[in-house]
Amino acid sequence: MKITNICCIGAGYVGGPTMAVIAKKNPHIKVTIVDINAERIAAWNDEDVSKLPIYEPGLAEIVKETRGKNLFFSTEIDKAINASEMIFISVNTPTKTYGKGKGMAADLKYVELCARNIAEVAKSDKIVVEKSTLPVRTAQAIKSILDNTGNGVKYSILSNPEFLAEGTAIEDLLNPDRVLIGGESEDAIESLANVYGSWVSQDRILRTNVWSSELSKLTANAFLAQRISSINAISELCEKTEANVGEVARAIGMDSRIGSKFLNASIGFGGSCFQKDILNLVYIARSYGLNEVADYWEQVIILNDHQKRRFSDNLISTLYNTVSGKKIAMLGWAFKKDTNDTRESAAIYVADHLLSEQAHIAVYDPKVSEERTQLDLNYLNTRSEEENKDLVKTYSDPYEAAKDAHAIAIMTEWDEFKAFDWQKIYDGMKKPAFIFDGRNILDQKEMEAIGFEYSSIGK
C-alpha cells in the first residue's frame, strides 16, 4: 500500500518528535497528530515555537518547517483516523496504579481506547502501528478488539517500537541504530519500511515477528538500565575502597565486548520508561511462573532505589546528621539534561526524603517550571500541598538558589552548570559549603581549591 496519509494518536514525547521527522523526510505524506489533550494540541500549534509542549534540541526548527504544510496537530481524532491509511498508536502506557498488577503491570487502558476508537470510526482498511512500548503479545489484544468490534474493515497490526532517548530525540530519529518492524503481513511491513526508507538505509530496518519486536523493546530498556545499576553498584564499592568509578568505567569500557556507553555512575536513572518497562518485564515473567527471571530483573530496580536513597542519606549524615531548617540548593530537576521531562526523576525522590527531614529546598532547572516541580512532589502524597509550597522554592537564577544554602546537590548534568561562577556561589553560601555532585560533572580539585567540601558518586 502506498502511504499518503498518516494519523498518530498521542502527541507526547514520542508521537511529536517521531511524526515531525517522518513529515520532514516524507513531504508527500500528510501527517496528522491527534490527542485528547486540547491544551497540549494548542501548545503544539502555538505560533511561537519556543512554547511547544516538549523541549528537544532541533525539534522546534522541524516543526516550524513542516507545520501547516504536511504536519498537523489536531483534536479531531475520528476525522484523522478516517483520512489515514496508517495509524500510529503512541499513547502513554504507565505502570498500573490500581487492581491486578498494581505497581508492576503496564496500564493498557489508553491503548485499548485507541483500538476501540479506530474500530468504531474506520471505514477503510488500515495499518495499525504499535509505537507505544507494550507488553509482549499486546498486538493480539488489539487485533481481537479491531476484528470483533470493527465494521468489517481489514486491519494489519505492526509493532514498531521507538528507541529514541529524550534530549537526543531528533538526532536519534534522524540517525537510528535500527528501526524495528514486527508483523505478519509482508505488504504492511514494506509499507512502513518505505516510510522510514526515505532516510534510513534498508539494512538498518529490521523485520521480525510481532512478538520478537514487542519483547525486544522491553529487553533493550532492561539491558540499558541494567548497565546503569551495574556501574552504580560498583560506585558504592569504589567509595569504600578508594577506587574511582570513572577510572573503572573507562578501563572496562575500552573492552570492545563491554563498550563505553551508558557507564556513567549517577544518583540513579529516572525517566518515564526504564522503571515502568522493567517492572512490566518482571510482571510478565512472574505471570509465566518464571520467578528466577523476574527476581533477576527486579534487582535492577532495587539497586536504583538504593542509589537514590544512599545519595540523600549521605547528604544528611555529612551535614552533621541533620538538615532540619537548612537550605539545600538542588541544581537540576529534569531526569537528564536537554529535556523538560521530569517523570521519575531522581531529584523528586531525593527532595522528598530531604523534606521529610525538614530541609528547605531551592530548585534551579533551566527548563522545568515551578508548577511542574510542585506537581511532582504533590503526586507522592507525602505531605500537604501547602507544606510542599512552603518548603520548596523555585528560582530562575542559580546564584539566588544557592545563596545562604548549606549544600548544593547536583541532580541533572546540564552543561551550563559546569560554566557557573563557582567562586561566586561559594561566597554566597553558609560555611562549610558542601557540594554533592550526583552527576560527577565538576572538577573535584577546582572545587576544593575554592573551598568547597566536595563529594561525588563512586570516588
Q: How far is the CB of 314 from ligand UGA (least distance, A)?
A: 17
Cell numbers at 403, concatenated: 545563596
Q: In the β-sheet with 392-394, what is the strand arrangement from edge to edge?
A: 392-394, 360-364, 327-331, 407-410, 434-437, 453-456
Interface residue with ligand UGA, options 159, 221, 229, 280 (CB under 6 A): 221
- Residue 116 or 309 with smaller CB distance to ligand UGA: 309
CA–CA separation, 181 and 157 (whole Å): 10
Q: Left, alpha or beta for 6 (phi > 0: left; psi -120 to 50: alpha)?
A: beta
- Residue 191 or 272 with smaller CB distance to ligand NAD: 272
Residue 434 main-chain phi, psi, to 5 deg? -105, 145
**Hey, what's the torsion of the CAs at 87, 89, 91, 96, to 10 degrees?**
150
Interface residue with ligand NAD, options 1, 5, 37, 399 (CB under 6 A): 37
**Considering the rule CB under 6 A, would residue 273 count as an interface residue with ligand NAD?**
yes
Interface residue with ligand UGA, options 72, 196, 269, 349 (CB under 6 A): 269
**Considering the rule CB under 6 A, would residue 270 count as an interface residue with ligand UGA?**
yes
Cell numbers at 358, concatenated: 525538614
**Considering the rule CB under 6 A, would residue 138 count as an interface residue with ligand NAD?**
no
Cell numbers at 237, concatenated: 564499592
CA–CA separation, 210 and 218 (whole Å): 13
Residue 37 site contact among ligand NAD, ligand UGA, none (CB < 5 to 8 Å, cut-off depends on kind): ligand NAD
**Considering the rule CB under 6 A, would residue 36 count as an interface residue with ligand NAD?**
yes
Picking from 371, 369, 365, the residue whose alpha carbon sits closest to that of residue 329 is 365
Cell numbers at 139, concatenated: 498486538
The answer to whether the CB of 180 falls within 8 A of the CB of 216 is yes
Query: Which residues in 273-302 contact ligand UGA (CB under 6 A)?
Result: 273-274
3-state class of 310 per DSSP?
A: helix
Q: How far is the CB of 91 from ligand NAD (least distance, A)?
A: 4
CA–CA separation, 13 and 27 (whole Å): 22
Annotation says 273 is catalytic = yes
Query: Which residues in 139-198 contact ligand UGA (CB under 6 A)?
Result: 162-166
Question: Which amino acid, residue 86?
Answer: M
Residue 132 site contact among ligand UGA, ligand NAD, none (CB < 5 to 8 Å, cut-off depends on kind): ligand NAD
Interface residue with ligand UGA, options 135, 176, 271, 366 (CB under 6 A): 271
Helix axes 138-149 and 109-121, enclosed angle (nearest 10):
30
Cell numbers at 412, concatenated: 541533572
Residue 264 site contact among ligand UGA, ligand NAD, none (CB < 5 to 8 Å, cut-off depends on kind): ligand UGA
Interface residue with ligand NAD, options 26, 32, 84, 132 (CB under 6 A): 132
**Considering the rule CB under 6 A, would residue 438 count as an interface residue with ligand NAD?**
no
**Considering the rule CB under 6 A, would residue 274 count as an interface residue with ligand NAD?**
no
**Considering the rule CB under 6 A, would residue 7 count as an interface residue with ligand NAD?**
no
Which range of residues in 17-25, 49-57, 86-94, 271-279 is near ligand UGA by CB under 6 A?
271-279
Which range of residues in 32-40, 263-271, 396-404, 445-453 is near ligand UGA by CB under 6 A?
263-271
DSSP, res 208: E
Cis status of the peptide bond prior to 135, with omega within 30 of 0: no
Residue least distant from ligand NAD (Cβ): 12
Q: In the β-sheet with 86-89, what is the strand arrangement from edge to edge?
A: 71-74, 30-34, 5-9, 86-89, 126-130, 155-159, 179-183, 205-208
Binding mask 144-163 for ligand NAD (x = CB under 6 A): ------------------x-
**Considering the rule CB under 6 A, would residue 437 count as an interface residue with ligand NAD?**
no
- Residue 183 or 438 with smaller CB distance to ligand UGA: 438
CA–CA separation, 57 and 169 (whole Å): 8
CA–CA separation, 195 and 8 (whole Å): 14
Catalytic residue among 7, 114, 238, 273: 273
Measure CA 107 to chain center.
17
**Number of residues in contact with ligand NAD under rule CB under 6 A:** 26
Is residue 454 within a helix (H) or strand (E), and if so which, with residue range? strand 453-456
**Considering the rule CB under 6 A, would residue 213 count as an interface residue with ligand NAD?**
no
Binding mask 54-93 for ligand NAD (x = CB under 6 A): -----------------------x------------xxxx
**Considering the rule CB under 6 A, would residue 399 count as an interface residue with ligand NAD?**
no
Q: Left, alpha or beta for 99 (phi > 0: left; psi -120 to 50: alpha)?
A: left
Pairing of strands 71-74, 5-9: unpaired
Which range of residues in 10-18, 260-268, 287-295, 445-453 is near ligand NAD by CB under 6 A?
10-18
Binding site for ligand NAD (CB under 6 A): 9-15, 35-37, 40, 77, 90-93, 110, 113-114, 132-133, 162, 164, 166, 272-273
Instruction: Give catalytic residues, as residue numbers.
Output: 273
Binding site for ligand UGA (CB under 6 A): 133, 162-166, 221, 224, 228, 262-264, 266, 269-271, 273-274, 335-336
